[in-house]
Amino acid sequence: MSHAGTAQQTAAPLLEIDGVTLQYKTSEHLVTATRNVSFQVYPSDRFVLLGPSGCGKSTLLKAIGGYLNPVAGSIRLKGREITEPGPDRMMVFQEFDQLLPWKTVRQNVEFALHASGRLRGAEMRERAEHYIAMVGLAKFIDSYPHTLSGGMKQRVSIARGMAMEPDVLLMDEPYAALDALTRRKMQDELLRLWDDTRFTVLFVTHSIEEAVRIGTRILLLSPHPGQVKAELNSIPESELGTASQSALEARINAMLFSH
Ligand code: ADP
Ligand code: MG
User: Ligand 2 centre and the CA of 219: distance in Å?
Assistant: 15
Strand order in the sheet with 201-205: 89-92, 168-172, 201-205, 46-50, 217-221, 228-233
Which of 3.40.50.300, 3.10.20.30, 3.40.50.720, 3.40.50.2000 is the CATH number of 11-88+168-259? 3.40.50.300
CA distance 249 to 220: 12
Residues of CATH 3.40.50.300 domain(s) within the chain? 11-88+168-259
What percent helix, strand, coil does the chain show, rounded to 5? 40, 25, 35
List the pLDDT tens digit at each of the 259 positions of the chain: 444 444 555 678 999 999 999 999 988 999 999 999 999 999 999 999 999 999 999 999 999 999 999 999 999 999 999 999 998 998 887 655 689 999 999 999 999 899 888 788 999 999 999 999 988 899 999 999 999 988 889 889 888 988 988 999 999 998 887 888 888 988 998 898 899 889 999 999 999 999 999 999 999 999 999 999 999 999 998 999 999 999 999 999 999 887 6
Atom of ligand 1 minimally distant from the CA of 172: 2
Residue minimizing CA distance to atom 19 of ligand 1:
59
pLDDT at 96: 55
CA distance 13 to 136: 29
pLDDT at 94: 67
Contact 223, 55 (CB under 8 A): yes
Contact 127, 163 (CB under 8 A): yes
Probe residue for ligand 1, chosen from 37, 59, 62, 172 as the CB with the greatest number of ligand atoms within 8 Å: 59
User: Ligand 1 centre and the CA of 226: distance in Å?
Assistant: 10
- Whole-prediction pTM value? 0.90
Whats the size of the chain, residue-wise?
259
Residue minimizing CA distance to atom 6 of ligand 1:
56
